[in-house]
Chains A and B, each alone.
Chain A
Amino acid sequence: MYLTKEEEKILNGEYGWAYETSMKILVRLGDLFGATELIPIKSAHISGVSYKTVGESIDFLDALARAGGKAQVPSTLNPSSFDPEYLVGKVPRECREGQLRIISLYKEMRIEPTLTCTPYYLRKPRRGWHLAWSESSAVMYANSVLGAWTNREGGPSALAAALVGKTPNHGTHQAENRQPNVVVKVDSNLANETEFGALGIHVGKFLKERIPLFTGLTNYTEEYLKQLGAGMATTGMTSMFYYREPAPKRDLERLSVEARDIHNTIENLSTISEDPNLIFVGCPHCSLGEIHSIAEALEGRKVKGGTELWVCTSKHVKGKAESYVKIIEKAGGHVLCDTCPIVAWMKNLGTETVMTNSAKAAYYAPSYNEVGVTLAPLRQCINAACRR
């Protein structure tokens, strides 16, 4: 890989261990993927925040922060394992302290504690910007809906890119690697976010790293596309998709998806049929529009006793949604920011059964959280949450 004089200096440790180590990571990964140079990035988004997953292996973050590592570009953080109002008092002290320590180490490195998986609602990257983002659902959204350019980074490589302000130039940073290589014809009028998410889960399994171009998608909103990308990234290694371009004339492999496939996927993701303890909306974190829809559906209704309703979003979006938040809370729901049940200690908080409108959350809940799950669209989730 070709390095500038300045980059060589960083690699040789002239700016300290934190930058040297970050540069080593970028250069070695660049070599591995056949990159020939580093390119500047506009922002980094970093996963590896929840104490539940990172746990006690925070030694490395501690070492980087002590060595004076600071982000060189605007950098944001993925969700943590509790919110600052509702769940914070319910987690054991040790977990609370561990989580706060992780966040404060990132803050020392000048990484904003945004604690959201939808950093694009906070600052929308422009078309053509190069980014180093981890969190696969955000990578999908950035590449496919916003037209920014990012590889699917892991937590450590996104952190290294934040500290150096650059990323190796390979993969989706190069136009020739952003071409679709399979056409997916959808023979079904997908009606809601859950069906879009299920489509993602279904095709992700076949795609591996290939980039799909969907034909036949109608009635999509940006929120539905967010679910599609999140689902696809859950079961596959894809980092982008096309949804409004015409199928190219080139001879490409073709797949087709029928209504039956979507149906089966939703059925297979549901592991229980009994009434859930927890209804969860907000994987990935809700947009302002989604919070609006939830408030509308809840207006004048009450969440049943013995049932919890969690709406997860970022501090940023919650701050803009004050009137909707009031309606949701008046109905007995909770609008939680900075977290989501998947990365929280759901089971220890008394949850055994969950209903969600997110195919990604439904995919992870039984294994990561050992809870039973039902996957159903928002209307049905709200009806299950409320007294009749």
Chain B
Amino acid sequence: MTLRKRESLKVTVLKGRPIVPGHCRGLALVSTKPISFLGGVDSNSGLITERDHDLKGKSVKGRILCFPHGHGSTVGSYVLYSLAKKGLGPKAIVNQTADPVVVVGAIIANIPMIDQVDIQQITTGDDVEVDCSKGLIKIMKEK
């Protein structure tokens, strides 16, 4: 992963609601579709396997994972824990609307998380810095 110097980037800051505290920077992986962690993400590879998903075949590993909200079985929370334990989890989670499955998953996996963010302003590959304790997300796009 290569992060560019800040000077060459256009920076946008969005405000969200803190869910799980933490601060990190990484590359965004953005979906317009909800994600089901149970059955939709392979806990042994970190790859998204959900049928007809716009991120199918992409890995969540080390990414700032942005999606509207979770869906599907509540046991999906355990999948986030398993991913994180194997080093395959996302670096942070940015949601439009937090739902219990993803919130519980982020808590037990200790993955920084914010919600109430307009994720349409983020594009896959954007260099993103999230301060989930303050609920801030800084999007750095190339000028």
Contacts and interface: CB of A to CB of B under 8 A. Distances in A.
Interface of A: 21, 24-25, 28-29, 32, 47-48, 53-61, 63, 134, 153-157, 160
B77 A53 contact: no
A121 B81 CA distance: 33
Contact of B75 (A32, A54, A153): A54
User: Which label, helix, strand, loop or mixed, suits the secondary structure of the B interface?
Assistant: helix
B8 to A, nearest CB: 38
30 contacts: A21-B108, A25-B107, A25-B108, A28-B104, A28-B107, A29-B103, A32-B98, A32-B103, A47-B75, A48-B74, A48-B78, A53-B73, A54-B78, A55-B43, A56-B43, A57-B75, A57-B81, A59-B81, A59-B82, A60-B77, A60-B81, A63-B81, A154-B73, A154-B77, A154-B101, A155-B77, A156-B78, A156-B104, A156-B108, A157-B74
Contacts of B4: none
Determine the main DSSP class of A at the interface with B: helix
Interface residues on B, range: 20 to 34
A155 B98 contact: no
Contact of A155 (B19, B43, B44, B75): B75
A155 B74 contact: yes
A59 B109 CA distance: 11
Nearest to A61: B78
Given A53-B38, A59-B81, A21 B107 contact: yes
Interface in B58-114: 73-75, 77-79, 81-82, 85, 98, 100-101, 103-104, 107-108
Contacts of A47: 74-75
Contacts of A24: 107
Given A28-B19, A47-B75, A57 B82 contact: yes
Of B79, B82, B100, which is in contact with the most chain A CB atoms at under 10 Å from its CB? B100
